[in-house]
Amino acid sequence: MHIELLTPHIGALIHDVDLVNCDDTTFAAVYKAWFTHQVIFFRDQEFSPQQHLTIAARFGELEPTHPFFPHVEQAPQVSIIETVKGKPPLESFWHTDLTWRQQPSIASVLHAQHVPQCGGDTIWCSMTAVFNALPEQDKILLRQLSAMHALFAFDGIESSEITEDWQKDVIAVSAKNPPVSHPVITRHPDTGEEILFINEQFTRYIIGMNREDSNALLAKLFAMARLPEYQVRFKWQTNSLAIWDNRSTQHYAVIDYADSPRKLHRVTVV
């Protein structure tokens, strides 16, 4: 097993590991690399949806079937993220998965089935690196704050424009999940590092601040997360695999490939 660091702050490409037949000693090294480097990548990992579930389960308890993504029929906990001809992806947002829940997921395991010839990269940002780059007075302030998170449910879009079943499912799930509060600064249970725990898609406002001040503070923090110095960008290939620590990262799907066919399978870990 060889670990190739991709940037100073986040991301590592792991070589010479077959995750399907990975022994306990090797997996322990993979597991440590996952939370140390925040997102790890593998090439040429060919496996079935059921084997995908087995790999993901080594990281922890699996999430139930996703509430609005389509899924593999024989393996419902494997979500399908797919672009097909005639249906390009909608707007993309920087986000941390499921922060609209009281307990967001801790990991996602994303496996490429087929990808465009070019485009369709994914970018991850280290929110520990963003926190560490803040001035000390900002850190002191942020440690005292909490923020409200809520599921994006097509705010400002006319109801007549909501025609897809998955959009209706998002609205239904949003109605059943009221906004939740999370500390703005969290601490990673394995590394002890402090994390800036906000994201553009689901963080609505800072609790106890007027909206103008809250919006200004969040805009400043979101802008830092968009800086390439704290990011890693991954070019997908068929059978590539990415496993990220959802507690310490944000990610962004680059939608520059129009409606070129693209299909990935994702399993998430509680």
pLDDT of res. 66: 82
Compute CA distances 17 → 30, 41, 42, 188, 225, whole Å: 9, 11, 8, 26, 31
Q: What is the pLDDT along the chain (270 residues), one digit of tens a residue?
A: 999 999 999 999 999 999 999 999 999 999 999 999 999 999 999 999 999 999 999 999 999 998 778 999 999 999 999 999 999 998 899 999 999 999 999 999 999 999 999 999 999 999 999 999 999 999 999 999 999 999 865 455 555 555 566 556 666 666 677 899 999 999 999 999 999 999 999 999 999 999 999 999 999 999 999 999 999 999 999 999 999 999 999 999 999 999 999 999 999 999
With CA atoms as reference, report the closest residue to 28 among 62, 59, 4, 61: 59
- Which residues carry out catalysis? 95, 97, 251, 266
pLDDT of res. 154: 46
pLDDT of res. 169: 64
Residues 104 and 204 sit within 8 Å (Cβ to Cβ): no
Residues 196 and 221 sit within 8 Å (Cβ to Cβ): yes
Domains, the chain, ordered by start: 2-269 (3.60.130.10)
Residues 260 and 119 sit within 8 Å (Cβ to Cβ): yes
pTM of the model: 0.92
Kindly compute the dihedral angle of the four CA atoms of residues 27, 31, 37, 41, in this order, to the nearest 10 degrees: 50
Instruction: Give strand pairing partners of 84.
Output: 87
Residues 231 and 111 sit within 8 Å (Cβ to Cβ): no
Length of the chain counted residue by residue: 270
Phi and psi angles of residue 47, each rounded to the nearest 5 degrees, phi first:
-160, 165
pLDDT of res. 164: 62
